[in-house]
Amino acid sequence: MEPHWLVRPRTIRLLWAAFAAVLAATVAAEFFVPMPAHEGLAGTFAFGAWFGFAACAALILVAKALGVFLKRPDDYYDEARDD
Amino acid sequence: MTEVLHPGLLLVAAGLALAPLKGTARAAVALVVPAAAVALVLALPDGVVWRGTFLGYPVTPFAVDRLSRMFALVFAVMAFGGALFALRQESRVELPAAFVYAGSAIGVTLAGDLVTVFAFWELMAVGSTLVIWSAGTAAAYRASMRYAMVHLAGGVVLMAGVVGHVAMTGSTAFERLALDSPAHWCILAGFLVNAGAPPLSAWLPDAYPEASWSGTVFLSAFTTKTAVYVLLRGFPGTELLIFVGLFMVFYGIVYALLENDMRRILAYSIVNQVGFMVVGIGIGSQMSLNGAAAHAFTHILYKALLLMSAGAVLYETGRRKCTDLGGLFRTMPLTMVCGTIGALSISSFPLTSGFVSKSMISQAAADGHLTAVWLLLAAASAGVFLHAGIKFPWFVFFQKDSGLRPPDPPWSQRLAMLLFAALCIGLGVFYQPLYRLLPYPVDYVPYTGYHVVEMLQLLLFSGLAFFALLPLLKRTLTITLDTDWFWRRLGPAAAVVLARAISRADRGARGATLGALRAGVRATGRLMSERGGLGRTTSTATMVLWVAVLLTAYLVFYYVRQP
């Protein structure tokens, strides 16, 4: 059976290309939209772009590191009831 | 007392009336009464409506201002949408309990004094516990008991604070409180327990996802947002709340990222979103308080929408875990679209309701020159898109093909989702009516080129991070330990150890006492036995001798006493 059009590799490649174009457009928009002058970090070029990416990467890594210590099998509390 | 009907008590009464009803009558009451409550709230006059006395103190159980009207309105709307979504719920307990719960939440917002706040606060705990309990599973029963314990404990702390406040000031009025006495700290702690603040925050993701497919929709709306309301009224500008709120924001994101259960993901994101509101309350400017109130309003709608779409998936498939789900977009397109609209709203995407509310809190941080707070809020906004905005729809509706082909849910659920999706988009585009409801005059334009471009950058690049780091986000069949470990594992384990120690000490003490008693009995027996000192048979001569000795002693003492 033919897979759903949305999950064909061709569509996914196209979606990635479109996504990349949109990302570039939001950064390029800084040249056309008046941006108020900010000091420090918030004043850097494409602040939202790099900060958003960096913040998410950091959050994922923090979560991953915390998971090493705090993850348990999802029947963890069920076992607790049996004894 | 004027002739104004109390919309909260109307819902509570409707909840009691609903219990015996079935079929069309039940559906009619469930839809007409919340609609009437919405109309009543919109028509409420400003000022004190009911006055009375309680134990000699004047109380105002029914008082209205802009802030209380706004929260009462969204609670009433939520009761309507939740009832519509829950029409097919077979439990005879859930809907009545949810109405009592919603009505008492409205009761808190319309209470002018702390005594009435407390009374409705406890009624909310009862109603919400019953909503969880009515799911009917053993897990739900246990979760509802843990939930009730946390909330009753919070209620006791609140009660202590209220009594202390009344004893100190002689007034029951619910006004702005300063953190200048133990009583006020107790009130703040009681409020924060319900907000899902640390250290007891785990009650929320523990209990809410155990409710039925429709029960969680109700639960998401009232308890935490009532807490936001009372914090807005009682503790605006309390700096501590900025730190508490920031902790909640990041705690919610990190735990939601680790979570596998779709409704626990959304439960953690409630804590995250309430964190934004608590930060706004802590900043305390008119802009930030407006932002916190507006965000509570929009949050109730989009979080309900998200949990409706998750509830529809649960209703159709009976599954909750991301590892079991995926690829549902093929056969549940409407649920997917509505869930995605909720996900975009919670992420504050431009043209959705979250954008016009959350950006006010960030703006207030910038205006107050709180640069660190502003940066952390920006990072958190990106994180919201990550953990709720993409993660939820991606793992439930796309991801892999789970092979499940469930249809969209029945019309009542579809209608409720469409209604709330329309509200999420509608408030994002036509935000003026929302701004007019806010407690303070609004001087803020959400749609400037700068705001939109920066938000789009933040969100879309966090989307890029999500897909780039997707292998790190692979779902596993795990839970993540939270503070509920202390009362689900450490507490019981400590109790077992303590019980063993007590039983050992008790056995030892009883053994020693019995041994001592036995030794005493043996010694007495020996003394009294035929050969013992007191028990043996002696001759009459010995008796006479001893009597003579006694008489002689008596004589000696008699003469010695003479002067």
Amino acid identity at B248? M
Which band of pLDDT confidence, cut at 50, 70 and 90, is reported for residue B536? confident
Query: How far apart, in Å, are the Cα atoms of B70 and each of B106, B126, B327, B353, B422?
Result: 10, 24, 39, 16, 19
The verdict on B188 and B270 lying in the same domain is: no
Could you tell me if residue B513 is inside a domain? no
With residues binned 3-state (H G I as helix, E B as strand, rest as coil), the percentages for chain B, rounded to 5, are 75, 5, 25
| CB-CB neighbors (< 8 A) of A34 in chain B | 449-450
Residue that has been written with the tokens 């990349």 in this structure? A20
Rg (C-alpha) for chain B, rounded Å, is 33
DSSP collapsed to 3 states, B79-115:
HHHHHHHCCCCCCCCHHHHHHHHHHHHHHHHCCCEHH
DSSP collapsed to 3 states, B162-215:
HHHHHHHHCCCECCCCCCCCHHHHHHHHHHHHHHCCCCCCCHHHHHHHHCCCCH
Which band of pLDDT confidence, cut at 50, 70 and 90, is reported for residue A43? confident
- Paired with B57 in beta bridges are B54
Yes or no, beta carbons of B450 and A19 under 8 Å apart: no
pLDDT above 90 (res B294): yes
* Mean pLDDT of chain B, nearest integer: 93
Please tell me the predicted confidence (pLDDT) of residue B1: 46
pLDDT above 60 (res A81): no
| CB-CB neighbors (< 8 A) of B461 in chain A | 23, 48-50, 52-53, 56
What does the alpha-carbon distance between residue B299 and residue B123 come to, in Å, rounded to a whole number? 23
| CB-CB neighbors (< 8 A) of A60 in chain B | 257, 386, 465, 469, 472-473
pTM of the model: 0.90
Could you tell me if residue B199 is inside a domain? yes
The verdict on B87 and B135 lying in the same domain is: yes
What does the alpha-carbon distance between residue B187 and residue B175 come to, in Å, rounded to a whole number? 12
The verdict on B461 and B389 lying in the same domain is: yes
CB of A17 within 8 Å of a chain B CB? The answer is no
DSSP B229-246: HHHHHH-TT-THHHHHHH
The verdict on B245 and B138 lying in the same domain is: no
Could you tell me if residue B497 is inside a domain? no
CB of A45 within 8 Å of a chain B CB? The answer is no
Boundary of a domain, candidates B492, B517, B552: B492
Which band of pLDDT confidence, cut at 50, 70 and 90, is reported for residue B472? confident
B16: nearest Cα among B145, B89, B125, B104: B104
Boundary of a domain, candidates B199, B234, B269: B234
How does DSSP classify residue B539?
-
pLDDT tens figures, B500-528: 999 999 999 999 999 999 999 999 999 98
Nearest residue on chain A to B400, alpha-carbon basis: A7
Yes or no, beta carbons of A53 and B461 under 8 Å apart: yes
Could you tell me if residue B473 is inside a domain? yes
CB of A33 within 8 Å of a chain B CB? The answer is yes
Could you tell me if residue B508 is inside a domain? no
Amino acid identity at B330? R
ipTM of this model? Answer: 0.91
Please tell me the predicted confidence (pLDDT) of residue A79: 62
Could you tell me if residue B407 is inside a domain? yes
Maximum mean pLDDT: which of B45-49, B285-289, B538-542: B285-289
* Residue B423 CB burial class (10 angstroms; 0-12, 13-18, ≥19): buried
Q: Note the Cα B554 to chain centre separation in Å.
A: 86
pLDDT tens figures, B70-110: 999 999 999 999 999 999 998 999 999 999 999 999 999 99
Domain range enclosing B375: 236-492
| CB-CB neighbors (< 8 A) of A36 in chain B | 450
Rg (C-alpha) for chain A, rounded Å, is 22
The verdict on B71 and B136 lying in the same domain is: yes
| CB-CB neighbors (< 8 A) of B462 in chain A | 52-53, 55-56
Please tell me the predicted confidence (pLDDT) of residue B2: 53
Which band of pLDDT confidence, cut at 50, 70 and 90, is reported for residue B562? low
Which band of pLDDT confidence, cut at 50, 70 and 90, is reported for residue B289? very high
The verdict on B370 and B466 lying in the same domain is: yes
Yes or no, beta carbons of B371 and A42 under 8 Å apart: yes
The verdict on B249 and B292 lying in the same domain is: yes
Boundary of a domain, candidates B211, B234, B257: B234
CB of A65 within 8 Å of a chain B CB? The answer is no
| CB-CB neighbors (< 8 A) of B382 in chain A | 51-53, 55-56
Q: What is the mean pLDDT of residues B301-318?
A: 96
Mutate to test the interface with A, among B405, B453, B496 (most CBs of A within 10 A): B453
Which band of pLDDT confidence, cut at 50, 70 and 90, is reported for residue B4? confident
Phi, psi of B177 (to 5 degrees): -115, 140
First to last CA, chain A: 49
Which band of pLDDT confidence, cut at 50, 70 and 90, is reported for residue A82? very low
